[in-house]
Amino acid sequence: MEKLPFSLYDFFGYLAAGALLLSAVDLGFFEARHVDEDPSLTGAILGVLAAYIAGHLVAGISSAALERGLVARVLGGSAHALLTPVGGWRRRVFPGYLEPLPAAARQRLGDRVQADVGAELTGEALFWHCYPIARERATTAARLATFLNLYGFCRNVATAAALAALALAAAAAFSNPPAGLGWWIAAAVVVCVGMTYRYLKFLRLYGLEVLTGYLAALAAVPSDPAPTLGDPSQ
């Protein structure tokens, strides 16, 4: 049997996010009639296709809002967060993501990079130097794929929940929504906030895996456990 053209991420990363958004629109503007109806096979296929397409649209918005917005412009990438102590309101609001590695671990990595390239690298330059070397290790590559899927799923669902809350709020203002819609809006906001923090957690673990995999690759460590820079279990 040929390999299926869809991956597990297609289901969780796109279908789930798209289904969440479409369900919120159906609830707010159509009183969940499309969800309650017993659809035909054709209707079910079209529904899955619509959710998949909506999921891809959500992923595009999510990438712009969270990756290129919150992370790139406000918090800094995972390598920056791991290696650069940050204070102020950002550290108070996002303490898990902005928890830097111990000073000794940062020094160890810096010394290894200096010995490797003869220069000090920081931020994105450091990440992209370490990444291709780290993913040469099969075990590191497998874990990177896992964390990539996890943070992508959390990112997309967080954005879908935010859009769902906006859609439900619009329905409450301009339509004739069912009773109790406020509770659904509150639930969508909770999901959005919670999944945003989960996204940042897995993004941090992704960056940590790149750095530890880089050290392991240069040390010619053939198998796990890879040398650790900190405790990833959060």
The whole-number pLDDT of residue 33 equals 59
Residue 209 has what pLDDT?
96
Low pLDDT (below 50) residues in the chain: 1, 221-223, 226-227, 230-234
Q: What is the pLDDT of residue 231?
A: 45
- CA dist 143 and 211 (Å) reads 12
Find out whether 51 and 22 touch, Cβ atoms under 8 Å: yes
226 residue type, one letter: A
Phi/psi of residue 87, nearest 5 degrees: -115, -160
pLDDT digits (tens, 9 = 90+) for 123-159: 889 999 999 999 999 999 999 999 999 999 999 999 9
Exposed/middle/buried for 213, CB within 10 Å: 0-12, 13-18, 19+?
Answer: buried
* Cβ proximity of 227 and 216 under 8 Å: yes
Q: What is the per-residue pLDDT for 132? A: 94
| pLDDT tens sequence across 175-202 | 776 777 889 999 999 999 999 999 999 9
Query: Does residue 225 have a cis bond before it (omega within 30 degrees)?
Result: yes
Q: Six-digit token pair at 15?
A: 């279908």
Instruction: Quote the DSSP letter at residue 65.
Output: I
* pLDDT value for 5: 56
Predicted pLDDT of residue 39: 63
